[in-house]
Amino acid sequence: MARDFALDVLGAKARSSAYEYPPNLEKGWTGAYWINANYNLAGSMSIAKQFGGMEMQFIEAGDKEEREQVQEYTAYLGKKSRRPVPGMLAPTAL
């Protein structure tokens, strides 16, 4: 999800990675996807343009059980963020 956002919305570019992507769950191998962002966000200053942009590494677990735990916790946080606490600004209100 974050990887897709960076590529689709922020216009980041894919880079070569030391790992294959997606992870190989049968062998328990971790997978990774690296991207580089060198762009202007809504007319603001370029993100570290003088240093060649901002590199982001999205690493996914190759262990099936660990991966399932991460997915369950991410889903839990997603549901929790849809129920704002009183006094908290809801992202949907922006």
Which of 7-11, 39-43, 68-72, 73-77 has the weakest average pLDDT? 39-43
User: pTM value?
Assistant: 0.52
Confidence of residue 63 (pLDDT cuts 50, 70, 90): confident
Residue 90 CA, distance from chain mean position? 21
The torsion of the CA quartet 66, 67, 71, 72, rounded to 10 degrees, works out to: -30
Give the start-to-end residue ranges of the domains of the chain.
Answer: 2-83
Question: 19 with 59: CB under 8 angstroms?
Answer: yes
Residue 16 has pLDDT above 70, yes or no: yes
Sole residue written with tokens 């889903």: 75
